[in-house]
Structure 1
Amino acid sequence: MSHLRIQNLSHRYGLTEVLEQINLDLSAGQTLALVGPSGCGKSTLLHIVAGLLIASDGKINMTFDRVSCAFQEPRLMPWKSALDNIALGLKASRLSRSQRRHEAAQLGHRMGLSTEDLDKYPHELSGGMQSRVSLARALAIRPDLLLLDEPFSALDIGLKTELYQLLSEQTVHNKTAVFLITHDLMEAVRLSDRIMVMAAEPGRFVHELVLQTPHEERDNAWIYQTTGELMMTDAVRIGFELPAPITSARTSTASHDRSPS
């Protein structure tokens, strides 16, 4: 089974330690969410996994073959149409240009983009449509590891919910592992199998939550309750500078949380 394994990873910018003793495992079909305050090194860790940065210390063992990324900013090629942006990653395949465009169009339609939308250039699209194109481009190569750096943070609630469903359908169908970075605790609870909480200065893991409830059974009531319980943990409360909870009692049996060893 394909996997990502990080052991004793640390990273520095000059003399500043931004990541310290990071250890994690991610297997095929799992979704892992990283949450934590701004500046705790979440994006730096994702960039290291993506190969955009080289860690100062530690080991990374990754056996995933196809890795793709989607970021908070869509980062579309302005001189290409939406359709050609989606098809961009397929250039490395052996598909003909017409086949690439056909597959890109099918995926774009599943993302709620019309044929007219696909013919437009990025500056002609709304922010929500650009996000759809960006996510479709990342999914077009059928990745076995999908790296997401807050791709939904600038979207309204309705569009977020729609893209959550589209993402879930694609990742379940292709058994894709997802490495998700988010500030949104409810988003993490909704989408992930495990949540790792990070603290800053230096960035490190301080808490882990394993979500045992199947995704198809996670209704809104469960999501709100589980998010509330997560917000009551000391690691999250202190990291996000939340006020002290009125009570620390926990009643849910839907999840099991622990501090990383």
Structure 2
Amino acid sequence: MSKLVLVTVTHAFDGRTVLRDVSLVTQPGEMVALVGPSGSGKSTLAAIAAGILRPQSGRVMRLYQRHGMVFQQSRLLPWETARGNIAFPLLMDGMNKAEATARAEEAALAVALLPSDLDKMPDQLSGGMRARVAIARALAVAPDFLIFDEPFAALDPALRRRMQDLVIDLSARFGFGGLFITHDLSEAARVADRIAVLDRKGDGIIGALTPEGTPGARREADIFAFVQREMTGNPLLADLVNVDERALDYDCACDTLGPRRCC
């Protein structure tokens, strides 16, 4: 079962609550997108789901064997080649170098990296190639659940779409479920089976949307129509475009792995 269950998860930084009573269940094999405005606590929830943060209260049940995570930035080790970055979690898990290298090269092939790409250092790779390496690193551990924390936010629109298509293809091929964090409803409607909406102040999941069809089979015109309809007529999404992050009443301290910023 590739299933994630969050039960009344609450978390605070420096005494300020950023998530309160958040409950979410993903079904086996289901890709759920979590949308919400900047500062609503999406990245904090992703870190809790991945076990990077421990919630102050609530329960996290990971009903799967192993998960991988793709972060907002690629977070590649600058002193390692692309191959070394993909193999790194396997080596840290005790796998011998030969087997880890072979597994890394299989994962690289799955995300359409060329053999010549694997000897390059991170600063020799484009943004899209770094994103592919980061996804391959997550795939290398053979996960049955993947957590994506706005991994394509810094890419240009055309490249974002290619990366979204890659996630859709990989999910179908390998059958993993996942949690995909994004503030972009169009991205959510492309990659996810179901879309959960987080309250603008992290006060729980306020509702869910289910686009017609399945990821990869939805026409672009249908995705566009869905987004236009929901953004203009669904009160659940009012804060997705209207919220002013300066009005949030807590510090932007939810990125535990980088600079302080809103999540």
Shorter-chain TM-score bucket reads: 0.7 to 0.9
In the alignment, structure 1 segments of 5+ residues that lack a partner are: 243-261
Deviation at 1:185, TM superposition (A): 0.8
Q: Please, which moves more after superposition, 202-211 or 5-14?
A: 202-211
> Which AA in structure 2 matches 1:218?
R
The residue number in structure 2 matching 1:165 is 165
> Which AA in structure 1 matches 2:175?
K
The residue number in structure 1 matching 2:185 is 185
**How many residues are treated as equivalent by the alignment?**
242
State, as a whole percentage, how many aligned pairs show the same letter. Answer: 35
Deviation at 1:202, TM superposition (A): 4.0
- Seen in structure 2, the aligned counterparts of structure 1 residues 81 and 241 have a Cα distance that, compared at 3 Å, is same
Superposed, 1:1-150 pairs within 5 Å as: 1-91=1-91, 96-150=96-150
Deviation at 1:177, TM superposition (A): 1.1
Instruction: Let me know the Cα RMSD of the aligned residues.
Output: 1.9
Over 6 Å off, 4+ runs: none
The residue number in structure 2 matching 1:198 is 198
The residue number in structure 1 matching 2:241 is 240
CA distance in 2, matches of 1:79, 1:210: 43
Q: Is the 8 A contact 1:199 1:239 kept in 2?
A: no
- Seen in structure 2, the aligned counterparts of structure 1 residues 239 and 214 have a Cα distance that, compared at 3 Å, is closer
CA distance in 2, matches of 1:160, 1:90: 27
Q: Is the 8 A contact 1:28 1:144 kept in 2?
A: no
SS in 1 for 2:229: helix
Deviation at 1:163, TM superposition (A): 1.9
| 1:176-217 CA-partner distances (Å, limit 9, x unpaired) | 111010111100000101111122234422221123412343
Q: Please, which moves more after superposition, 55-64 or 182-191?
A: 55-64
SS in 2 for 1:74: coil
TM score, norm. by length of structure 2: 0.85
Deviation at 1:172, TM superposition (A): 1.7
CA distance in 2, matches of 1:200, 1:55: 19
CA distance in 2, matches of 1:95, 1:21: 39
In the alignment, structure 2 segments of 5+ residues that lack a partner are: 244-263
Q: Is the 8 A contact 1:36 1:240 kept in 2?
A: no
Q: Please, which moves more after superposition, 233-242 or 87-96?
A: 87-96
Q: Is the 8 A contact 1:72 1:150 kept in 2?
A: yes
Q: Please, which moves more after superposition, 92-101 or 135-144?
A: 92-101
Rg comparison, structure with higher value: 1
CA distance in 2, matches of 1:122, 1:22: 36
SS in 1 for 2:117: helix
Deviation at 1:45, TM superposition (A): 0.7
CA distance in 2, matches of 1:108, 1:133: 7
Deviation at 1:153, TM superposition (A): 0.9
Q: Is the 8 A contact 1:142 1:174 kept in 2?
A: no
CA distance in 2, matches of 1:110, 1:162: 14
TM score, norm. by length of structure 1: 0.86
> Which AA in structure 2 matches 1:235?
L
